[in-house]
Amino acid sequence: MNKKITPRVIKMIVIQSFILIIAVTTVGAAVNVHNEYKNTGKVQTEITTIPGVTTTNNSEEMSKNEETTAATSPEKTTVNSNYEYSYAGFTPKTINITADTPLSKVLLNGSNVLPKGYEPTLAEAVKGSGVYLDYRVAPFYQAMYDKALEDGITLNPVSGYRSYELQTNNFENFIDEIMENQGLDRTKATVKAATEIMIPGGSEHNAGLAMDIGSLSESFEDTDEFAWLSENAADYGFILRYPKDEKSRGITKVVYEPWHYRFVGVETAKDIKNKGVTLEEYLGAAN
């Protein structure tokens, strides 16, 4: 027997259909956003679950996660004979960092550079700071920052990730400054500039693996912040990348930078600190 469809039933059908349309539209939008994020790989503004990293303040737990998920195969490299600063003797290898590359194995300097198109996935180093690091590194910096605050120390994040383009602009400007102020030709000015500003692609900032903390002055070594970092940075996976002693400067080819801290992972950082070596020496790449 056919039942009569009342206005009330019709109203219920319309409402349910409307709800279904909204649900389908919302899911579709979420999928589009996810796909867009995967394609751009720029900034991850909120971290919920990060493979291999936890946001806990317990450095031992962070170390375990970091070590167990890191791959052991080194990144692939290619010789870059067409590098734009080859006229000054820079013919670095181009290295490719993937999601599986152990960050402790990444060596960036005048001999190893990132490709121009490399863009790490980023996360804010300290919430609200507007300064970013590789998303795998940011939680470690936040944890270190929080612990320092408990001890009455503020580790102000000055400069984290820099794009390849910004690094090039900084480097070119410094070359011009040296040529103008010191009367050197472009080749000599480029070599000198590279001792203070890393060549484009060779900066750890380009990978989002390093943070300049506090200030960009050697006087930073006289601060409570520097003393705290000297004692505790390794517990959060960070090392003083460019030490002061003459031997280290001869290896890194970079002047003393007491403000520049590089993430290598907790166990590696502790080992480097205990051995008193540079990252180049630790990775067997000193020359």
Q: How confident is the model at residue 43 (pLDDT cuts 50, 70, 90)?
A: low
At 19 the pLDDT is 44
At 216 the pLDDT is 83
At 5 the pLDDT is 47
Helix H or strand E segment including 262: strand 257-263
At 41 the pLDDT is 39
| pLDDT higher than threshold 70 for residue 32 | no
At 78 the pLDDT is 61
β-bridge partners, 69: none
* Domain spans, the chain: 59-282
Instruction: Output the CA–CA distances (angstroms, integers) from residue 30 to 33, 196, 247, in the order listed.
Output: 5, 45, 54
pLDDT, mean of residues 33-56: 36
| pLDDT higher than threshold 50 for residue 101 | yes
DSSP state, 125? S
Tens of pLDDT, residue by residue over 175-209, are: 999 999 999 999 999 999 999 999 999 999 999 99
At 218 the pLDDT is 85
| pLDDT higher than threshold 70 for residue 13 | no
Higher per-residue pLDDT: 40 or 168: 168
| pLDDT higher than threshold 80 for residue 15 | no
Tens of pLDDT, residue by residue over 127-183, are: 999 999 999 999 999 999 999 999 999 999 999 999 999 999 999 999 999 999 999
Tens of pLDDT, residue by residue over 52-96, are: 333 333 444 444 444 433 333 345 556 666 899 999 999 999 999
pTM of the model: 0.75
Q: How confident is the model at residue 10 (pLDDT cuts 50, 70, 90)?
A: very low
Q: Which CATH class, in words, describes the domain spanning 59-282?
A: alpha beta
At 245 the pLDDT is 96
Would you mind telling me the total number of residues written for the chain in this entry? 287
d(CA 216, CA 193): 16
Tens of pLDDT, residue by residue over 243-255, are: 999 999 999 999 9
Instruction: Output the CA–CA distances (angstroms, integers) from residue 99 to 35, 48, 234, 274, in the order listed.
Output: 17, 17, 23, 28
At 57 the pLDDT is 39
